[in-house]
């Protein structure tokens, strides 16, 4: 469809942290830095790991806990170094079909919510079953990139 796509993602490992009781913007900031320290060597092997995209944030309806995640690079998927920060963990996300809506510009939490609401409305109108109680935000660009930015919201297909 022109206003969203359906993607199939394979099982993969992500490095994640959960930030509780903050605004989404502040949770993203805190979570990003915890994960950035992990890839800069705050792990059992003191190994630097390449930054990957997207950076995701799990947003649950009516909840102030936000899970921020970096994709583990392909060369570390089999055996990612374990985090030394107790708040950072490796998780395996199972293969899944996702409805994805892409948009440009600098994405604020409000913009992500607006795009997620738009995608949810489109999916309901087309009779597409999806998990409505949560969505992921996905950011692909450094904060220093000014033009041609790429952002997404993801809903899991039922």
79 — phi, psi (to 5°)? Answer: -150, 70
pLDDT in tens, 28-76: 999 999 999 999 999 999 999 999 999 999 999 999 999 999 999 999 9
Q: Reduce the DSSP state of residue 76 to 3 states and report it.
A: helix
* pLDDT at 125 > cutoff 80: yes
CATH topology of domain 5-156: Multidrug-efflux Transporter 1 Regulator Bmrr; Chain A (3.20.80)
User: What's the rounded Cα separation, in Å, for the pair 152 and 137?
Assistant: 6
pLDDT attached to residue 14: 98
Residue 98 has pLDDT above 80, yes or no: yes
Cα–Cα distance measured from residue 108 to residue 149, given in angstroms and rounded to the nearest whole number? 13
Q: Which residue has the tokens 């969203």?
A: 4
Rounded-to-integer distance, Cα 51 and Cα 39, Å: 7
Angstrom distance (rounded) from CA 138 to CA 156: 13
- Mean pLDDT of all residues belonging to the chain: 96
Q: What local confidence, expressed as pLDDT, does residue 2 receive? A: 85
pLDDT of residue 144: 87
Task: Find the mean pLDDT for residues 95-120.
Answer: 97
């Amino acid at each position: 469809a022109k206003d969203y796509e359906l993607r199939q993602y394979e099982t993969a490992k992500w490095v994640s942290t959960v930030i509780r009781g903050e605004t989404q913007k502040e949770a993203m900031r805190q979570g990003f830095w915890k994960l950035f320290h992990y890839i800069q060597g705050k792990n059992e092997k003191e190994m630097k790991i390449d930054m990957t995209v997207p950076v995701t944030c799990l947003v649950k309806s009516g909840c102030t806990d936000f899970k921020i995640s970096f994709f583990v690079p392909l060369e570390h998927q089999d055996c990612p170094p374990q985090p030394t920060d107790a708040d950072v963990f490796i998780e395996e996300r199972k293969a899944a079909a996702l409805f994805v809506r892409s948009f440009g510009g600098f994405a604020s939490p409000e913009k992500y919510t607006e795009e997620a609401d738009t995608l949810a409305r489109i999916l309901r109108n087309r009779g597409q079953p999806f998990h409505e109680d949560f969505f992921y935000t996905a950011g692909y660009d450094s904060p220093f990139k000014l033009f041609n930015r790429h952002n997404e919201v993801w809903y899991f297909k039922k």
